[in-house]
Structure 1
Amino acid sequence: MSVLIAATALPCGLVIGLLLGALGGGGSILAVPALVYLLGQTPHEATAGALVVVAVGAVGGLLCHARAGRVRWAAGATFGALGTVGSYVGSRCSAALDAKVLMAAFSGLMLVVAAGMLLRGRRDRRGRAEAAASAVVAGAAPSSRPPAGDVRDSGAPRGSREPREPHGSRDPQDPQHPRDAPDLAGSRRPRPLRTVVTASSVGLLTGFFGVGGGFVVVPALTLVLGLEMPVAVGTSLLVILINSTAALATRAGTGALDWPLLALLAGCAAAGSHLGNRLAGRLRPQTLTTAFAVLVTVLALAMAATTLPDL
């Protein structure tokens, strides 16, 4: 590895890590373009090498979320294990695909990711606006609860408490009935076929493109397993780690990887991730998301312009 390559890998890794730490995912999609256009790797080497960066980034984030109790180990391990078959198939298909076709497909993936980031930012902004409006309405409405200690209308002796309903004794027509609530593990009962198909699709994406796929894993864990968003984000890192490790093992015999370069890139990404976590609290998430989506869109269009004419 030359000094010039090392000097180029340093800022690339930091930028990828900053985006991973500040946005919680998505930054690893920049690893493949950086490896191909800035660090001189072939598309097949880049999609394999990017898995190393993805795995290292997943480990760092997973440790942070695990300390905060936001990882469902059993659900994540099961979902990741179900995706290893798709990861194997995706890796084999990617290795057999023409390099130009692979990069053209990757540019299309980047456009999808950019659109998804913008839509997610728009939904978050709309949700905050609705929550703020609800808070204003709730604050303006007069309270119907009697003052503390006022039992004139309660029909109960002073100092007595209303008995608590036992779990499951509510009216089944009540929308807050316990049967509609998530279980104690924070997830609804999954549908086996739907879970297998979704997990295999996520693994296929990771194996084929060499990306973590957090932009797909998090919604999948939310919709299929019913995890709450913070828990889904933490658990998704376990899924990404399993899928990327399986894909990397599948590609191990398909070609030599530049391990010193990948170690430098992954190390810089890990350092940048810590900086990104601190940066996230100082900048507006909407600004970061929009800037990232614009950057990914520009890169995707540039990649498409260089690859599509040669197909």
Structure 2
Amino acid sequence: MMSSALHLLSFVVIGASLGFMGGVFGIGGGIIAVPLLVLGFGLDQPLAQGTALVLMAPNLLVGWWRYHQRHPVSGRAIVAIAVSASATTWGIAHIAARMDPTVLRWLFSAFMVLLAARLVHTARRQAPPAERPLNVRVLPLVGMVGGCSMGLLGIGGGLLAGPLLSGWMGQRQTTAQGLSLALVAPSSVVALATYAQAQRVDWQLGLPMALGGVLTVSAGVALAHRLPEKPMRTAFAAMLVGTAAWLIVGPMWMA
């Protein structure tokens, strides 16, 4: 019993660390949790993605609710992006949960490299584009793009939707962030349910990690407001590239 209690506590501590880092860097704990579960715990890629969703889903739901209280978005816009994203997530997740783990790991690594490039680009960007009226009819397309990422990788819906909303559709940052959360929060629940149905979730590992993450994500967000953004994003981008490389090389080297 002592050994089981220590294992449970260690999972809570790991989840707390992931939640804190996700709050600091503002990109969610999944991008960090999935490589850790693959390389540190030996889970295959689909199982790691499904288990990471246990950590992500409650944090995203809470974050969406709190953000919406401060920066409300119209109900019509929320429905347009959330429904399309959730439906796309459901369809793609059924495929991803049954994909070859090696192929899925390569796709996840490539996404991390692209994310790192975007973080560096964002840190160098000077002024945001001029704001334009929100075109609700286009939002389902954004939802489908984000839903593809959520279903395939379990992450990245907001990371893809954010630039589309703020750059392509010309929305101010608060609106883009609110719509991104409206996309990823319900999509994470749909993806989790789909991966769980395919037996691609380790609940004994994911639930204590989720508990730890809920306890620390707010502290990470608070710290992020006190840190310099540009060097922090550049350092994190370098870490993502290194992790992506290790996701490919590590399993082959250990084998």
Q: Please indicate, yes or no, whether the TM-score normalized by the shorter chain is above 0.5.
A: yes
Aligned mate of 2:134, from 163, 188, 194: 188
Closer, same or farther in 2 for the Cα pair 1:218/1:87, shift >3 Å? same
In the TM superposition, 1:261-272 aligns within 5 A as 261-272=205-216
Amino acid at match of 1:189: N
CA 52–224 in structure 1, closer or farther in 2 if over 3 Å, else same: farther
Task: Name the residue aligned to 1:127.
Answer: 127
Q: Secondary structure at the match of 2:241?
A: helix
Structure 2 CA distance for aligned equivalents of residues 195 and 74 of structure 1 = 10
The residue number in structure 2 matching 1:246 is 190
Contact 2:21 2:29 in 1 (8 A): yes
Match of 1:137 in 2: none
1:75 corresponds to:
77
SS of the residue corresponding to residue 94 of structure 2 reads: helix
Which position in structure 1 is the counterpart of 2:146?
Answer: 202
Residue 155 of structure 2: SS of its match in structure 1? coil
- Give the distance between the partners of 1:99 and 1:181, measured in 2 at CA: 42
1:267-289: CA deviations, max 9, x gaps?
A: 22222211112211221112321
1:235 aligns with 2:235: no
Larger radius of gyration: 1
1:44 alignment counterpart: 46
Aligned mate of 1:16, from 15, 18, 29:
18
Question: Which residue of the other structure, out of 1, 5, 8, is the alignment partner of 1:6?
Answer: 8
- SS of the equivalent of 1:127 reads coil
State the Cα distance separating 1:201 from its structure 2 match.
2.0
The 3 A distance-change label for structure 1 pair 95 and 10 is: same
Name the CA shift for 1:282/1:31 in 2 (closer, same or farther; >3 Å). Answer: same
Mapped to 2, the partners of 1:237 and 1:118 lie a distance apart of 22
Q: Which residue of 1 aligns with 2:95?
A: 93
What is the CA-CA distance between 1:37 and the residue it aligns to?
A: 2.0
Q: Residue 127 of structure 2 aligns to a residue in which SS?
A: helix
Structure 1 or 2: more helix by fraction = 2
1:243 is aligned with what amino acid?
A: S
CA contact (8 A) 2:145 2:157 kept: no
What is the Cα deviation at residue 212 of structure 1? Answer: 4.3
The change in CA–CA distance for 1:269 and 1:122 in structure 2 (over 3 A counts) is same
**1-side partners of 2:119 and 2:20: how far apart?**
16
Q: Give the counterpart of 1:290 among 229, 234, 238.
A: 234
Q: Partners in 2 of 1:104 and 1:4 — Cα distance? A: 34
Point out where structure 1 has 5 or more consecutive residues left out of the alignment.
Answer: 129-179
Kept after mapping to 2: 8 A contact 1:8/1:38? no
When normalised by structure 1's length, the TM-score is 0.72
Q: Cα offset for 1:4?
A: 5.9
TM-score normalized with structure 2 length = 0.86
CA drift at 1:20: 2.5
Equivalenced residue count is 251
Per-residue deviation, residues 39-82 of structure 1 (Å, max 9, x unmatched): 34332211112222221121221232123124444312320101
Unmatched 5+ stretches in structure 2: none
**Helix, strand or coil for the counterpart of 1:188?**
coil
1:280 aligns with 2:243: no
Q: Which has the higher contact order (CA 8 A, sep 6+)?
A: 1
Q: Deviations over 1:130-189 (max 9, x none)?
A: xxxxxxxxxxxxxxxxxxxxxxxxxxxxxxxxxxxxxxxxxxxxxxxxxx974xxxx433
Aligned partner (choices 111, 114, 119) of residue 112 of structure 1: 114
SS in 2 for 1:252: helix
